[in-house]
């Protein structure tokens, strides 16, 4: 009987790996966190007639689970002890670099070996006055947020978890941007998956080959760099795929729309190019690259008034922008020729 459960365990661990880092969550599909939650629930959660795989295998209480995060109590203690604002009980333990949110994985050097119940119920996130354990984050996502089903009505704790942890302001070189930290629990789910996949004994006692879990998320900027690399290698469709993933990863940022517009031009899909440049400009109506690119299309289509509007907008903010100035002057001369 246990042999069959071992086969199911192998399948669930493989699905957890796939949802986490084999071209899913880590490659630009944050909604895969819901799938991560489902796999963790199958592996770990016991309630009523629902028996976890590790309980079937009689292994839940024989394994030590690895916590790579400070608990709320530990963060509160550190805050009081160190008297600084970098650590606080309210800070979500995630990494935030230029707007790129990443789980810390093992980078913070925290590695606590805990019995299952202690690990499962350790409070690791606080939003307003609500505290969340690993069990809370996994089960709310798997059971209420579209994993097993979608509840019509949700309680305040679920609403807060889905809403996130407030706003953050970060610099980009072109001014500060305020960004909502929504779906923070997705990063926690990815971190929890990392912790489970880090338990070597879970694999070895069940005759499953253990691999150190992957822990390098492809971020928005990483996907832009990946697309640029593919373009340099003349792999245009791979580049297009990377940019599509970047847009899915963060549809509120402009660069991927502009870059994929360039690809659509190369593919002679001008309507899609116009659509992509327009989306980039809608996000930032002073975005020079997209305005120049869209203006160039309108110029080639003899839609001079539309092109002039774009070039004038650029020159209003950047009077010495060479491409816009050159194209603006070209259209003015062209219009004089046509009128003369």
Domains of the chain in sequence order: 2-204 (no CATH), 221-339 (1.25.40.10)
- Provide the mean pLDDT of the chain: 84
Give the pLDDT band (50/70/90) at residue 186: confident
- The CA distance from 213 to 20, in Å, is 9
How many Cα atoms are found within 13 Å in the side-chain-facing hemisphere of 274? 14
Q: What percent of the chain has pLDDT over 70?
A: 80
Q: In terms of C-beta distances under 8 Å and separation of at least 24 residues, what long-range contacts does 56-63 make, across chains too? A: 56/2, 56/5, 57/2, 57/5, 57/6, 57/9, 57/206, 58/2, 59/202, 59/205, 59/206, 60/116, 61/115, 61/116, 63/116, 63/199, 63/201, 63/202
Q: What is the mean pLDDT of residues 284-309?
A: 94
Where is 18: in which H helix or E strand? helix 2-21
- The CA distance from 79 to 115, in Å, is 26
Give the pLDDT band (50/70/90) at residue 79: low
Residue 28 predicted with pLDDT over 90: no
Smallest Cα–Cα separation from 119: which of 134, 109, 130?
134
Q: Quick: pLDDT tens for 241-283.
A: 999 988 987 888 999 999 999 999 999 999 999 999 999 999 9
Q: What percent of the chain has pLDDT over 90?
A: 51
Q: What is the mean pLDDT of residues 14-33?
A: 78
Residue 82 predicted with pLDDT over 50: no
Task: Please tell me the predicted confidence (pLDDT) of residue 85.
Answer: 40
Task: Please tell me the predicted confidence (pLDDT) of residue 169.
Answer: 45
């Amino acid at each position: 009987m246990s042999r069959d459960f071992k086969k199911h365990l192998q399948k669930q661990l493989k699905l957890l790996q796939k949802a986490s880092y084999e071209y899913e969550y880590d490659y630009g599909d944050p909604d895969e966190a819901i799938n991560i939650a489902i796999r963790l629930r199958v592996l770990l959660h016991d309630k009523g007639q629902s028996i976890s795989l590790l309980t079937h295998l009689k292994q839940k209480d024989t394994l030590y689970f690895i916590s790579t995060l400070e608990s709320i109590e530990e963060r509160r203690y550190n805050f009081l002890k160190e008297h600084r604002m970098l650590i606080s009980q309210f800070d979500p333990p995630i990494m935030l670099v230029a707007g790129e949110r990443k789980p810390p994985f093992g980078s913070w050097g925290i590695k606590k070996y805990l019995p299952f119940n202690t690990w499962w119920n350790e409070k690791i996130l606080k939003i307003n006055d609500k505290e969340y354990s690993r069990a809370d984050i996994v089960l709310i996502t798997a059971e209420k947020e579209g994993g097993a089903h979608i509840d019509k009505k949700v309680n305040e704790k679920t609403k807060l978890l889905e809403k996130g942890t407030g706003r953050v302001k970060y610099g980009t070189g072109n001014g500060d941007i305020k960004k909502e930290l929504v779906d923070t629990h997705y990063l926690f789910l990815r971190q929890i998956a990392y912790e489970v996949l880090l338990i070597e004994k879970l694999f070895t006692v069940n005759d499953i080959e253990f691999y150190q879990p992957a822990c390098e998320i492809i971020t928005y900027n990483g996907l832009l760099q990946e697309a640029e690399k593919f373009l340099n290698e003349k792999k245009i469709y791979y580049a297009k795929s990377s940019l599509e993933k970047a847009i899915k990863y963060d549809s509120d940022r402009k660069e991927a729309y502009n870059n994929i517009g360039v690809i659509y031009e190369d593919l002679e899909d001008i309507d899609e190019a116009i659509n992509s440049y327009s989306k980039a400009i809608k996000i930032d109506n002073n975005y020079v690259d997209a305005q120049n690119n869209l203006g160039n299309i309108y110029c080639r289509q003899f839609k001079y008034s539309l092109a002039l509007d774009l070039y004038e907008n650029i020159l209003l903010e950047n009077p010495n922008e060479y491409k816009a100035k050159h194209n603006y002057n070209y259209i003015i001369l062209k219009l004089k020729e046509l009128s003369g």
